[in-house]
Structure 1
């Protein structure tokens, strides 16, 4: 237990000094090996880093990243936004609602909160500012909507959890559909309340079926991609990894040969961007796996389990404790890192009190999605801060209502399992 306290304290010290999370995790692990009463050769470090990412399902990550890049290189992204305009742009707070719905559609392809936030933010934040929206609110809306990307399938954190826990990624994807929609609708509700409270200039219009039909026809090839992914996986046509490859190939073919607006010169840049994002995610996963292996070797899971069981063996109380742990972890850790570290520690406890591993993973991912917009390490906040050029404290104030409504959603999802699990049983 002493080693665990030392390495966790060292980890937070490194993070406070601004050391990247992956490097912090590796150095904290090395500190643990050095201070342990057991002899652990440092050759273990590169071995664990490599073996932890030697996994076929993890290949889905670069494929889904690449699919998102191909969509952005062509006009698929703009067509999705156009459909969102035709669908919800006519209601009060239209642009804010368009931002949220566009992010939900993007979430069905990218699987990355940061990528989703950046793509939607570059399109929508400048437009919202021109319409008179507060800069902080515009940035907060996009950042909050970007969190849906790791709940609605395909979700990269769900892939990481599926690999770590050894559960069906297809079941996780299916379980995330309704919670993702619920969160999106909740964000739209906050959008409406804030715009009405602040009396923004954008007024309610009327739904135009002709414009809706035209936007749907222009964007149909982009809009059906999430359906291809989900139905293909659930129908047993391909695995999640193969679904990523299909998504990337489909996005390339549609952008290059159907819409014909992606140039050959855009292809190398798409591959490079996808490779950079994949390297960042996989490096974090490898470092977190090393850190988690150290905690397991020090028998921290057993100590944690016995400590939690002394509080209660009621699964609803345990779920509450889990959510507190996940929320705190999400404030400081990347979602993939938190999942890799916490799953081996907490999943045995969850199974022990009768919690379904798929449901446990979903609750963890939904909770950690809130971490994308909570200080001090909310990744989506830093993405929109750069796009909107808004101060951090102003952004925090604007995003607070969204955090609160997402916490309400989290408790609904946690204590009404049918919201997420009924689709997996069909």
Structure 2
């Protein structure tokens, strides 16, 4: 336990000093190796970094990243947004509702919260500001809706958890469908209430079936991509990794040869952007895996199991404990890093308490999605801050109601597991 204390102190000190999370995890791990009473050659560090990401399922990450880039290089994104306008743009808080629904559609394609937030934010935040919405509300709406991307499949954090825990990524994807829709609808209801309370702009339009029909058929090739991914995986047609490759190829073909609005020069740029984002995520996964391996070697998971089960074997209390741990971790750690570190530590406790590993992964991912909008390191907050050009303090004040609503959703998902797991059971 002494080594665990040392590495945790080093980790938080480095993070406090602003050292990138991946580098902090590696340096903290090295401090643990040097503090051990056993000789641990430092050659272990590069070996573990490489072997931890030598995984076929992790190839799904660059493919889904590339899918998102191809989607935004052509008009697929605009066609999805156009259908969202026709569907909910006439409601109270119309543009806010469009932002949320567009994020939900994008979530079914890219699996990256930051990427979806950036794509939708660039389109919708300036438009909402021109229509009289408070800029803090506009930014908070897009940031919170962007978190849905890591819940609705395909989800990159779910892929990371599936690889780390050794469970079915397809089952995880299926379990995330209902929670993602629940969170999206909750954000839309909050949008309605805040707009009415603060008398923000109200769109003076009516629902037009002709516009709905027109935009649906214009965007149907983009809208069915999430269905291809989900039904392809659940039907056993392809693996999650193959689904990512199919999705990327599909997005390229539709934009280039059907919509014909994607230039050949856009392709290298899409690969470069996807490669940069993939490199960042995979580097964090590798560093977190090294850190988690050190803690496991020091038998920290076994100590935790004994501690928790000795305190209580009530699964509801244990679920509450998990919720608190994940929420705190999400405030300071990237979702992929938190999953890679916490899964080996806490999954044995969950199994001992009779909690399904798929459900455990779901509540972990949903909880960590909230971390995208919680200070001090919420990634979506910094994305929309740059787009909206507002102070961090104002943005944090504006995001608080959305955090509260998402925490309520989290508790519903946590304590009513059938809400999420019935689709998984149906697919067995």
1:269-280 to structure 2, matched below 5 A, reads: 269-280=269-280
Task: Give the Å deviation of 1:204.
Answer: 5.1
Q: Which residue of 2 aligns with 1:397?
A: 397
Task: Give the Å deviation of 1:28.
Answer: 0.5
Task: Give the Å deviation of 1:425.
Answer: 1.0
Question: Which structure 2 segments of 5+ residues have no match?
Answer: none
Could you give the per-residue CA deviations for residues 228-247 of structure 1, whole angstroms, max 9, x where no partner exists? 00000000000000000000
SS of 1:90 mapped into structure 2: coil
1:63-78 to structure 2, matched below 5 A, reads: 63-78=63-78
Distance in 1, matches of 2:15 and 2:187, equals 31
Could you give the per-residue CA deviations for residues 96-151 of structure 1, whole angstroms, max 9, x where no partner exists? 00000000000001101100100100110010010011111111000000000000
Q: Which residue of 2 aligns with 1:180?
A: 180
Task: Give the Å deviation of 1:36.
Answer: 1.3
SS of 1:122 mapped into structure 2: helix
More moved, 33-42 vs 323-332: 33-42
Q: For the Cα contact (< 8 Å) 1:92–1:205, is it kept in 2?
A: no
Q: Which residue of 2 aligns with 1:364?
A: 364
Distance in 2, matches of 1:203 and 1:223, equals 25
Q: TM-score, normalised by structure 1?
A: 0.99
Task: Give the Å deviation of 1:201.
Answer: 2.2
SS of 2:71 mapped into structure 1: helix
More moved, 414-423 vs 307-316: 307-316
Could you give the per-residue CA deviations for residues 347-406 of structure 1, whole angstroms, max 9, x where no partner exists? 011111110000000000000000000001100000000011011110000000000000
How many residues were matched structurally?
Answer: 426
Could you give the per-residue CA deviations for residues 303-332 of structure 1, whole angstroms, max 9, x where no partner exists? 111111122101111111011110000000
Could you give the per-residue CA deviations for residues 138-175 of structure 1, whole angstroms, max 9, x where no partner exists? 11000000000000000000000000000000000000
Task: Give the Å deviation of 1:272.
Answer: 0.3
Distance in 2, matches of 1:192 and 1:295, equals 46
1:53-202 to structure 2, matched below 5 A, reads: 53-202=53-202
Q: TM-score, normalised by structure 2?
A: 0.99
SS of 1:109 mapped into structure 2: coil
Task: Give the Å deviation of 1:38.
Answer: 1.7
SS of 1:110 mapped into structure 2: coil
SS of 2:260 mapped into structure 1: coil
Question: Which structure 1 segments of 5+ residues have no match?
Answer: none
- Residue 342 of structure 2 is aligned to residue 342 of structure 1: yes
Q: Which residue of 1 aligns with 2:17?
A: 17
Could you give the per-residue CA deviations for residues 59-96 of structure 1, whole angstroms, max 9, x where no partner exists? 00000000000000000000000000000000010000
Distance in 1, matches of 2:207 and 2:310, equals 57
Distance in 1, matches of 2:53 and 2:303, equals 27
Q: For the Cα contact (< 8 Å) 1:332–1:376, is it kept in 2?
A: yes
SS of 2:109 mapped into structure 1: helix
Distance in 1, matches of 2:158 and 2:107, equals 13
SS of 1:354 mapped into structure 2: coil
Q: Which residue of 2 aligns with 1:27?
A: 27
Task: Give the Å deviation of 1:416.
Answer: 0.3
- Residue 377 of structure 2 is aligned to residue 381 of structure 1: no
Q: Which residue of 2 aligns with 1:354?
A: 354
Distance in 2, matches of 1:363 and 1:39, equals 38
1:140-289 to structure 2, matched below 5 A, reads: 140-203=140-203, 205-289=205-289
Q: Which residue of 2 aligns with 1:44?
A: 44
Q: Which residue of 2 aligns with 1:294?
A: 294
Could you give the per-residue CA deviations for residues 263-286 of structure 1, whole angstroms, max 9, x where no partner exists? 000000000000000000000000
Q: Which runs of 4+ in 1 moved over 2 A?
A: none
Distance in 1, matches of 2:5 and 2:193, equals 44
Distance in 1, matches of 2:285 and 2:92, equals 42
Distance in 2, matches of 1:37 and 1:218, equals 66
SS of 1:205 mapped into structure 2: coil
More moved, 306-315 vs 118-127: 306-315
Cα pair distance change 1:155/1:228, threshold 3 Å = same
Distance in 1, matches of 2:355 and 2:73, equals 42
Q: For the Cα contact (< 8 Å) 2:89–2:203, is it kept in 1?
A: no
